Homo-oligomer: A and B are copies of this chain.
Amino acid sequence: MTNQTQTIFTFGNKLAEGNASMKELLGGKGANLCEMNLIGIPVPPGFTITTDMCRLYHSSGENQVLEFMFNDLFKAMQFIEEQTGTKFGDATNPCLVSVRSGSRVSMPGMMDTVLNLGLNEKSVQGLIDKTGNARFAWDSYRRFIQMYAAVVMGVKAATDQDEDPFENIIQEAKKAKGIKQDNDFTAQDLKEITARFKEIVKKESGKDFPSDPWEQLGGAVIAVFNSWMNDRAVYYRELNHIPHHWGTAVTVQAMVFGNMGDHSATGVAFTRDAGTGENLFNGEYLINAQGEDVVAGIRTPRQITIEGSKRWAALCGVTEERRSEEFPSLEETMPDLFRQLAEAGAILESHFRDMQDIEFTIQEGKLWILQTRNGKRTGAAMVKMAVDMQQENLIGQQDAIMRIDPNRLDELLHPIFDPSAALKCRELGQGLPASPGAASGRMVFSAADAQNWTADGEQVILVRTETSPEDLKGMVVAEGILTARGGMTSHAAVVARGMGKCCVAGAEAVKIDYKTRTALFGGEILQEGDWISLDGSTGRIYKGKIKTTEAELSIDFDRLMLMADLHARMQVRTNADTPQDVQTAKRFGARGIGLCRTEHMFFEDGKITAMREMILAENEDGRRKALARLLPMQRRDFESIFSTMDGLPVTIRLLDPPLHEFVPHEDSSQKRLADQMGISQKTVREKIDSLHEFNPMLGHRGCRLGNTYPEITEMQTRAILEAALNLKKECIISRPEIMIPLTGTVEEMEFQKQIIEAAAQAVFDDYNDRIDYLVGTMIEVPRAALTADKIAESAEFFSFGTNDLTQMTYGYSRDDAGKFLPLYLEKGILKHDPFQILDQEGVGQLVNIAVKKGLSSRKNLKIGICGEHGGEPASVEFCHNAGLHYVSCSPYRVPIARLAAAQASIKQKRAETEMLEKLQI
C-alpha cells in the first residue's frame, strides 16, 4: 500500500467514485451504494472506507490506519457536509451519520453498526432547532449513546442472560413515570435518561462519553473493523467458508430518519417473495421508526402492499376493518412514496438481475434507499425465481443454473408433515410462515441449551421471544425455530431461510418464561423438553411429534432440472438396493443405478437363513446347497430392479461385507440357528468365532470372498443373468453391469472375471440365448487406483468407492473416527470431514491417477463414482473435472447431483472462454 492508495470512495447525488464491480474493495454495501447513485436511485450521500484499511488495521493497529487515511477521511466528511448542507458537530445544522460494516458477501447482523453519530450536547440542540422536534432529537441522542457505548466502549450486558444496564434505566424510568411504551416518554424524560446513560458509561468504562464528533467517528470506524473478528462473525465465516482475510469495508453515510413523525417511516422491501419466489413486490415497514426497529422484530411491522397486508391479516386472523385501521399498508398510507419505492425496486432488480432486498427510509415525505442487496430466499423461492427470471429473459439458462445452491434443493425434496397426521395433533397456535419445511423437536429456550441437548443426541426446536446474532449456534443445531415476536424480515426469519431451516416467527400468542423454562400457548403451559412440531410453510404450531410424507415437486423444479441436464456432461445415477429406493430415484431423474448392493437383500425374510447356512457350511458342497436356495430369491430381486429401471444400466456389486456381519452373535440366536441347521450350538459358536477379525475393514471381504469361495460369485452371476434373460422373454431390456468389490490387483479382477464369464456361458447355454453385460470393478483400494492401467486391461468399467478409498487413504476407520475427527475439525487439523466432502488433495489425486491410467489402457473405459461423495456438489464438480462419466448417489441427492453436474460443466466452459479471451489479448 502506498500513499497514493485511494482509501475512501464517495457517493451521492447520482455521482460515485466506485461502482458495483468493486465489491472486493468497497464491500457489497459500499459498491452497491455507488452503483445505485450511478443508476439514479435516491441514496443519502456518504463514503466507503476500503477493506484494505481493515486489513491494515488488523496488521498494523489503530494509530497506523487512522494516520494513513486521515486526510481522505477529512475530505470525505466535507463531501457529505457539502451534499447535505450540514456541518459535523454543528450547533445549528448538525451533520449526523451512520457507520456500517460491509464485506464482500453479506453477513447479516454479524458485525456492528453505529447510528446517529455526530450528536453531542451542542448538536442535539441544533437537531432540535432544525426539526423542531425535541423529543425525536433526545431520543436519537440516547439511542446513539446506548449503541456507541455498547459497540465502541464495550458497555453492555456481559452475556445473553444478563440485563442490559441501559434497558434497566429505561425500565426504571417507565416505572417512575408510570409509562408503558417508549413512545410515551417526553423530551424531558429522554434528556434525563440521556444524562443517566452518560453516568453509566463513565461508571462502567471509566471514561467520559466522547463529545467530539471526530473522536466519535474514529472510534466507530475502528469498532466496525474490530467487529470483523468478533466470535459470531468468525463463526459465521467458518460456517459459510468465507476467508478471514477479506476484511470489511466501512460505509459512513448521512443519516436519514424514519422516526421524525408520522410523515416518516422505515422499512425493508423485497422485489419478489423470498418464501415462495412469486414475482410479487413485498416488504414491511413501520411509521415513525428507525430501521433496526423493523429488523430486530421488537414491534410487529406492517406490510408495504395492500395484497401483502391482506394476506398477513388472513394468516393472523385480523379482520379487514381492523387491518385497514391498525395495520394499513404503505400503499394505502403513502401511495406516492409507495410508487417511488416500487419503481426503485424494479430498477434495482433489473439492474442487478436478481431479487433485491432493499432497506428504505422515508424522512418527512422523502424516500431514501439505504441499501440494496441480492435477497436471501428459501430453496423453493430460489428455484422459482431462477426459472421465472430465465423465462422473463432477465437472465440466461446458464445464469439460472449457476444461481442455485445445489445443497439448498434438499429442502424441497425432503418430507413434509403428513396432513392426516397433523390433523390428529393438537394445534397450539399460529405464527408467520417465515421459512418453509417441517420440523419436530423438544423445546429449548436458549442457544446454549440447544447445543447441549443436541450434543446428547436430542432433536430440538429453539423457542425464543426474538432471536439475535448471539443465537446463531443454537439455530444451526435446532430442527426448527419458533419466535414470539418479529415479522418475515426479522433476524430469525432471514437467518432460518438462509439455512433452509423451518421457522415460524412472530407467533404473538406464545408467552415465554425463560426463568421457569416454560411457554404458554393460549391456555396450555408446555415445559422445556416437551415435543412440538412446526410447519414453516403454513406457520402452524402443533403439540407432539408428527409423521412426515413425501414433498411434491413443482413444475419450476422440473424445468430447472431439465435445463440442468441440457448443460451437464456427466450423467447421474443412484445408489439403490430396494424397489422403493429405485422408484424414488427414478422420480428424481436418476439415469441408472450406479450401485446396487446385493448384501442388503440378504437381510430380508427367508434369505438370511439360507445365507447363514451358506456361511456355516463345512465345505464347498454345503455352500453350494445353501447358495442354490438363495439363487431364486436373488433372481427375483434383480428381476424387480431391472424391470423398474427398464433399459437403464444397473451396476450390481457382488457380495462385499465380511461374512460375520450376517451371522448372529447372541447366544439365543446362535442356539436357534443351530437347531434350524441340526448341528450343535458349540459348532455354530466355534464357526462364528472363527470369523472374528481384528480389522474387518481390511479383512476377508470384497472380492477376497469371491476368490476364496468362487461359488458365491457363480451364484450371483447366475441370478443376475437369469433375471435379465427372463425379462428378455417379456421384451424388457436389462443392462446389467457386474461390479467386483475391493479389487487391489489385476489378478484378483481377472480371477473373478473368469468365474463370471464361465458362469455366464453356462446360463446362456441353459437359456439358449444371451444378453450383453459388462464386468468392471470398484476402485476403492489405493493400490487399485495406482495400478489402474493394469486393472483396466481386465475391467470394462471403474466405479470409485470413495468411502472406502477415503478410509484407506487417510487410514481412518469411519466407525472409530468419532474418537478424533470432531476434535480435528474443531482444531482445524481437517478443514472438512473427508467422508462428507471428497478430499481433493489426497484422495482426489488417486482418482486422477486412476482415471488417467485406466483410460491409457482402455479408451472406452466407463468411469463413475458411487461413494456418498457422488451427491455432494463440490465433489461432483471434482468428478466432472476429473473426467468421470457419471456420478451415483442416494436417491434424495439425485437432483442435487444433476444440478451440480450442470454447474460444473458451465464453470468449465466459462473458464475456458475466459482463458481464450485472455489469450487473444
Give the oligomeric copy count. 2
* A817-858 to B contact mask, C-beta < 8 Å, 1/0: 101100110011110000000010111011000000000000
**How far in angstroms is the closest Cβ of chain B from A806?**
9
* A255-292 to B contact mask, C-beta < 8 Å, 1/0: 00000000000000000000000000000000000000
At the interface, yes or no: A747 with Cβ under 8 Å from chain B?
A: yes
Q: Is the CB of A786 within 8 A of B804?
A: no
* A759-798 to B contact mask, C-beta < 8 Å, 1/0: 0000000000000000000001111001100100000000
Contact partners of A526 in chain B: CB under 8 A? none
Option from B694, B742, B747 in Cβ contact (under 8 Å) with A813: B694
At the interface, yes or no: A751 with Cβ under 8 Å from chain B?
A: yes
At the interface, yes or no: A396 with Cβ under 8 Å from chain B?
A: no
**How far in angstroms is the closest Cβ of chain B from A779?**
12
At the interface, yes or no: A697 with Cβ under 8 Å from chain B?
A: yes
At the interface, yes or no: A744 with Cβ under 8 Å from chain B?
A: yes
Q: Is the CB of A742 within 8 A of B829?
A: no
Contact partners of A84 in chain B: CB under 8 A? none
At the interface, yes or no: A812 with Cβ under 8 Å from chain B?
A: yes
Q: Is the CB of A747 within 8 A of B828?
A: yes
Contact partners of A824 in chain B: CB under 8 A? 704, 707, 748
Contact partners of A708 in chain B: CB under 8 A? 819-820, 823
Option from B783, B804, B829 in Cβ contact (under 8 Å) with A751: B829
**How far in angstroms is the closest Cβ of chain B from A481?**
34
* A657-699 to B contact mask, C-beta < 8 Å, 1/0: 0000000000000000000000000000000000001111111
At the interface, yes or no: A808 with Cβ under 8 Å from chain B?
A: yes
* A716-755 to B contact mask, C-beta < 8 Å, 1/0: 0000000000000000000000000010110110010000
- In this complex, the member of A699, A748, A782 whose beta carbon has the largest number of chain B beta carbons within 10 angstroms is A782
Q: Is the CB of A704 within 8 A of B820?
A: yes
Contact partners of A751 in chain B: CB under 8 A? 827, 829
At the interface, yes or no: A618 with Cβ under 8 Å from chain B?
A: no
Option from B700, B704, B783, B819 in Cβ contact (under 8 Å) with A843: B783
Contact partners of A782 in chain B: CB under 8 A? 782, 808-809, 811, 842, 846
At the interface, yes or no: A67 with Cβ under 8 Å from chain B?
A: no
Chain B residue at minimum C-beta to C-beta distance from A659: B819
Chain B residue at minimum C-beta to C-beta distance from A821: B704
**How far in angstroms is the closest Cβ of chain B from A235?**
20
**How far in angstroms is the closest Cβ of chain B from A697?**
4
Q: Is the CB of B700 within 8 A of A697?
A: no
At the interface, yes or no: A816 with Cβ under 8 Å from chain B?
A: yes
At the interface, yes or no: A321 with Cβ under 8 Å from chain B?
A: no
**How far in angstroms is the closest Cβ of chain B from A341?**
51
At the interface, yes or no: A810 with Cβ under 8 Å from chain B?
A: yes
Option from B694, B783, B845 in Cβ contact (under 8 Å) with A786: B845
Contact partners of A303 in chain B: CB under 8 A? none
Query: In the bound complex, how far is the Cα of B699 from the Cα of A816, in angstroms?
Result: 5
Option from B693, B694, B783, B813 in Cβ contact (under 8 Å) with A810: B783
Chain B residue at minimum C-beta to C-beta distance from A804: B811
Interface size on A, residues (CB 8 A): 50
Contact partners of A846 in chain B: CB under 8 A? 782, 786
At the interface, yes or no: A378 with Cβ under 8 Å from chain B?
A: no
Contact partners of A827 in chain B: CB under 8 A? 707, 751
- Contact A696-B695, Cβ < 8 Å, known A704-B820, A708-B823: yes
Q: Is the CB of A698 within 8 A of B700?
A: no
**How far in angstroms is the closest Cβ of chain B from A113?**
36
Chain B residue at minimum C-beta to C-beta distance from A811: B781
Query: In the bound complex, how far is the Cα of B217 from the Cα of A220, in angstroms?
Result: 110
Option from B694, B744, B828 in Cβ contact (under 8 Å) with A816: B694
At the interface, yes or no: A605 with Cβ under 8 Å from chain B?
A: no
**How far in angstroms is the closest Cβ of chain B from A777?**
13
Q: Is the CB of B786 within 8 A of A842?
A: yes
Chain B residue at minimum C-beta to C-beta distance from A692: B816
**How far in angstroms is the closest Cβ of chain B from A15?**
49
Chain B residue at minimum C-beta to C-beta distance from A843: B783
A-B contact pairs, 21 of them (CB 8 A): A693-B815, A694-B697, A694-B815, A694-B816, A695-B813, A699-B817, A704-B819, A704-B820, A707-B823, A707-B829, A708-B820, A708-B823, A745-B842, A747-B828, A748-B824, A748-B829, A782-B808, A786-B841, A804-B811, A808-B808, A808-B809
Given pairs A704-B824, A707-B823, A808-B811, 18 additional interface contacts (CB within 8 A) = A693-B815, A694-B696, A694-B816, A695-B696, A695-B816, A698-B807, A699-B813, A700-B819, A704-B819, A704-B820, A707-B820, A707-B824, A748-B829, A751-B829, A781-B809, A782-B842, A783-B839, A786-B846
